[in-house]
Amino acid sequence: MKYASTRNPEIQVTFKEAVFRGLAPDGGLYHPVSVPDLRGLIESFSGSHSIAGIGAKLTAAFFGPEISEEAAEGICRRAFTFEPALVSLPGAGNIGILELFHGPSCAFKDFGASFLAAVMEEFLKQEASRAVILTATSGDTGSAVARAFHKRANINVVILYPSGRVSPLQEKQLTTLGDNISALEVKGSFDDCQRMVKEAFLDRDLNERLRLTSANSINLGRLIPQAFYYVYGWTRLSAADRKAGPVFCVPSGNFGNLTAGVLAWQWGLPARRFIAATNINKVVPEYLTGGAYSPRPSVQTLSNAMDVGDPSNFERLQAIFEKSRDKMSKLIEGVFITDRETRDTMHSVYAETGMFLDPHTALGVCAAKRYMASRQAKAAGLDGAPCISLSTAHPGKFIEVVEEATGKKPPLPQSLARVLDLRKESTVVESTGAELKKFLYEKFADQ
C-alpha cells in the first residue's frame, strides 16, 4: 500500500515514511492510494472480539506486508490496554453512546495516540536516530499524546496549545509530565497553533536539522486506528442492527474522527450515514447544505476541543469524495449545535437518566436526536435505525461546565484526580513560526 499527498497524487510514500513525515512536502496530507476490500474480515468480527484483536487483524490487512501479523499483534497489544463501551441512552429510542474515554487521558484520542506511539516505537527500535513530534491541540489531543509518548525512547514531544482556551484539567494533563514532553502555551487560538506546526513541517532548513513528525490527526498513523472503534461499536449491536447498518454521529472539530469513520465505511463497514456534529464553528455543515467552503477564525465555545475554523482533515474528505459535495452529502449530514443546546442536553440527560455527559458528547447526543427525528432521516429510510453517537471525553474533564449545567459535580477518575496537584510547566510563546523554530533549535539542535 502506498500513500499519496492529497494535493499531488504523484507524491507517494510508504506507511513508515508517512508516519515520520507527518505532512507531505507540498503541504498536503498523506492518504491511501487505494481502498482495500475488508468487508469479509469486518463481518467476521463478533461481540467477543476485543479492540486489540480487531485492531491487530485490520492493521495486518491494511498495512501488510509493511507491518507483519506478528508485529501488528504486538503493536495493538501494547497500544490498546483499554476498551471502548457501547451503552444505551434511556429514553432516546435506538440511540446508543460509544464511550471512548476509558484510556489513560480519558479521551477518544488515546486510541490513535497510543497506536501511533507503539508504531513509532516499532519502527525506531532498529534505528539509531531520534524523532521530534510536534502536536497542536485544542484540548484532548495534547493530553493523549503526552501520555502515549511519555518516556518513549528516542522520541521528544512538543505540544502547542492556545493559552486560556483549554480546560484547567486538560492543561494540567499536558503540562505536568516533564521528561521528554514539552508544552508551549501559545498566545493565540488553536488555528494559530496548527498553522505554526504546518509552517515547521514546510521549513526545509528545520527539517534538515531535526527529524520532525506529528501526532495530530494529520498524521496517518494516528488517524487510521480510529477507524477500529467504529468496527468495534458495530460488533456490539444486535444481529438485526448490525445487518441493518447504523448511523454514526460524530462530534467534529478538526474532522479526523469523522474521516476515520468514513475510511472504515470504505473498507466495508456497513454504516448507513454519518452525522458531522459541530458547534457554531460550522464551516463543514454550511458546505454540506450548499454553501461555499469558507474557513474562518474559530469562535470559542463550551465544546472547546471542537473550536476549529479551518479543519485540516476536510482536505482528506475532499480526496475521498473527489471534491464532490453531492457525493459527500449523500453519506454525511452536517448538524451544528449551540452552546445553549449543549448545556440543555447535559441538564436534561442528567435529570432524566442520572448520566453525566461532557459538552462534546452532549453536543453529539443533541445532534443525533435532532437528525434521527428529522424529515431527512425518514426520507432516507432511517426511521428507527440504530444510531451510535460517539462519546469523546469523560465528563470529569469538564467539571466546571458539567456542574454548571447539571448542578452536580461529575465523578473524577483517579487518573485525572492525580494530576490536579501537580505543578504546571509550560513555555509561553507568541503565535509565530519564528518563535517555534527558535524553541526547537535551542532545545533539540544538539541532540
* pLDDT on residue 182: 95
Q: Does 268 map to a domain? A: yes
Q: Does 319 map to a domain? A: yes
pLDDT at 125 over 80: no
The greatest distance separating any two alpha carbons of the chain, rounded to the nearest whole angstrom, comes to 62
Share above pLDDT 70 across residues of the chain, in percent, rounded to a whole number: 98
Q: Does 90 map to a domain? A: yes
User: If you ran DSSP here, which 8-state letter would residue 411 be given?
Assistant: P
Tabulate helix, strand, coil % of the chain (nearest 5). Answer: 45, 15, 35
Q: Which of 72-76, 209-213, 230-234, 315-319 has the lowest mean pLDDT?
A: 209-213
Q: Which amino acid is at 39?
A: R
User: If you ran DSSP here, which 8-state letter would residue 423 be given?
Assistant: P
* pLDDT on residue 156: 92
Taking residues 340-350, report their average pLDDT.
Answer: 98
- Report in angstroms the alpha-carbon separations of 442 from 192, 197, 214, 399, 446: 21, 17, 19, 37, 8
pLDDT digits (tens, 9 = 90+) for 209-265: 998 887 877 889 999 999 999 999 999 999 999 999 999 999 999 999 999 999 999
CA distance 395 to 282: 23
pLDDT at 419 over 90: no
Take residue 90 and report the three cell numbers written for it.
Answer: 434511556
Say which residue the cell 458546505 belongs to: 287
Q: Does 437 map to a domain? A: no
* pLDDT on residue 128: 62
* pLDDT on residue 18: 92
* pLDDT on residue 151: 87
CA distance 229 to 301: 27
DSSP-derived 3-state class of residue 59:
helix
Q: Does 238 map to a domain? A: yes
Residue among 288, 374, 357 nearest 93 (CA): 374
If you average pLDDT over every residue of the chain, what do you get? 93
Taking residues 158-166, report their average pLDDT.
Answer: 92
CA distance 222 to 239: 30
Q: Does 374 map to a domain? A: yes
CA distance 350 to 8: 49
* pLDDT on residue 64: 87
pLDDT digits (tens, 9 = 90+) for 170-194: 888 889 998 999 999 999 998 899 8
Q: Give CB contacts under 8 A, 24+ apart, made by 319-324.
A: 319/6, 319/31, 320/31, 320/259, 320/262, 320/263, 320/266
For the chain, how many structural domains are there in total? Answer: 1
pLDDT digits (tens, 9 = 90+) for 82-118: 999 999 999 888 999 999 999 988 989 899 999 999 9
Confidence band for 447, pLDDT divided at 50, 70 and 90: low
Confidence band for 144, pLDDT divided at 50, 70 and 90: confident
Domain that holds residue 380: 84-106+223-413
CATH code where residue 270 lies: 3.40.50.1100
Q: Does 418 map to a domain? A: no
Confidence band for 122, pLDDT divided at 50, 70 and 90: confident
Confidence band for 441, pLDDT divided at 50, 70 and 90: very high
Length reported for the chain: 447
pLDDT at 444 over 70: yes
Q: Does 17 map to a domain? A: no
pLDDT digits (tens, 9 = 90+) for 353-393: 999 999 999 999 999 999 999 999 999 999 889 999 999 99
